[in-house]
Amino acid sequence: MVHLQHPTDPEKIPSVPLKPPADLQPTWTPADILLGLGLLATLMLLQLTLHAAGVRPGRLLGLSAEAFRFFPTVLTAYVVLLLAWRRGMTLRHLGFVRPRSWRPALYAWAGAVMAGPVWAAAMLLLGLDPHGPYGGVIRAALPLEVLTRAPVLLWAFTIVVLAPVVEEVIFRALLYRGVRARWPLLPALLLTGLVFAAFHFDAARFVPLLLVGALLAWAYDRSGSLWASIVPHAGLNAMTLAVLVFGRG
């Protein structure tokens, strides 16, 4: 006689809920990606146009010039989070979880730090001026005394802390996550790097920024966590700020 076990036998029921298959995870649609990037592009172009016309709309919003500079990315990141909520995504879906490993973040940071110097060395080998329009070498510097001014301290906090978070939400949690769901790894990394560099409106550092954008996306992909791209991004911004402040002479 064959004994048929009841399908609801407690011994056969897993104690931990099973993870839904990847194809059942909520994801972005192409329209979502275009909406997010389109909003950011529109706000940034409007900002540049108003600045060129001598208009200071930041005053109407009660924002300083430094704060208004980051207004497009902050607002876009907020819209992305709202859109994620509408799509049934949580912060965990976007990558706000503990990384499986911090090694990808470390490798991405090291690669990002080397991107500028390697590109400058390549310019020299090609007989081009690394301080020219495509050199990617930072030339500006801030007087040391400006660090004592509250607005500049706030500006520094925005660059090192706020900017990495909102940019990673846009370019990695939205763009890369959406593209990676449909494309293989390398094309997704390349596209993310290209878009990331393009939105910085900096021809002098386009190639290094492309590499940085791809490396941060790779860290996000390999670690499974957005923190693994936020942390090296913040570290790179902090180093760039240090060069701007102390890189005199």
The residues near 11 (Cβ < 8 Å, ≥ 6 apart) are none
Question: Within a domain: residue 104?
Answer: yes
User: Which of 149, 143, 153, 155 lies closest to 64, judged by CA?
Assistant: 155
Question: Within a domain: residue 13?
Answer: no
Rounded to an integer, the average pLDDT of 25-50 is 92
Question: Within a domain: residue 174?
Answer: yes
CA atoms of 90 and 107, how far apart (whole Å): 27
Question: Within a domain: residue 23?
Answer: no
Question: Domain containing 42: what range?
Answer: 28-246
Let me know: does 37 contact 83? Beta carbons within 8 Å.
no
State pLDDT tens for residues 96-112.
Answer: 999 999 999 999 999 99
The pLDDT of residue 181: 95
CA atoms of 82 and 226, how far apart (whole Å): 17
pLDDT class for 116, splitting at 50, 70, 90?
Answer: confident
What average pLDDT does the structure give for the chain?
Answer: 82
Q: Is 215 left (phi over 0), alpha (psi -120 to 50) or beta?
A: alpha
The number of distinct structural domains making up the chain is 1
Question: Within a domain: residue 7?
Answer: no
User: Which of 246, 223, 231, 191 lies closest to 97, judged by CA?
Assistant: 223
Question: Within a domain: residue 222?
Answer: yes
HEC per residue, 200-247: CCCHHHHHHHHHHHHHHHHHHHHHCCCHHHHHHHHHHHHHHHHHHHHC
Let me know: does 80 contact 169? Beta carbons within 8 Å.
yes
The residues near 229 (Cβ < 8 Å, ≥ 6 apart) are 105, 108, 168, 172, 216, 217, 219, 220
**Range with the poorest average pLDDT among 48-52, 142-146, 199-203, 242-246:** 142-146
Let me know: does 95 contact 231? Beta carbons within 8 Å.
no
Q: What is the CA radius of gyration of the chain?
A: 22
Let me know: does 217 contact 192? Beta carbons within 8 Å.
yes
State pLDDT tens for residues 55-90.
Answer: 776 666 666 666 677 889 999 999 999 999 999 999
Question: Within a domain: residue 241?
Answer: yes
Residue 170: phi and psi, rounded to 5, are: -75, -55
CA atoms of 65 and 170, how far apart (whole Å): 22
pLDDT class for 20, splitting at 50, 70, 90?
Answer: very low
Question: Within a domain: residue 76?
Answer: yes
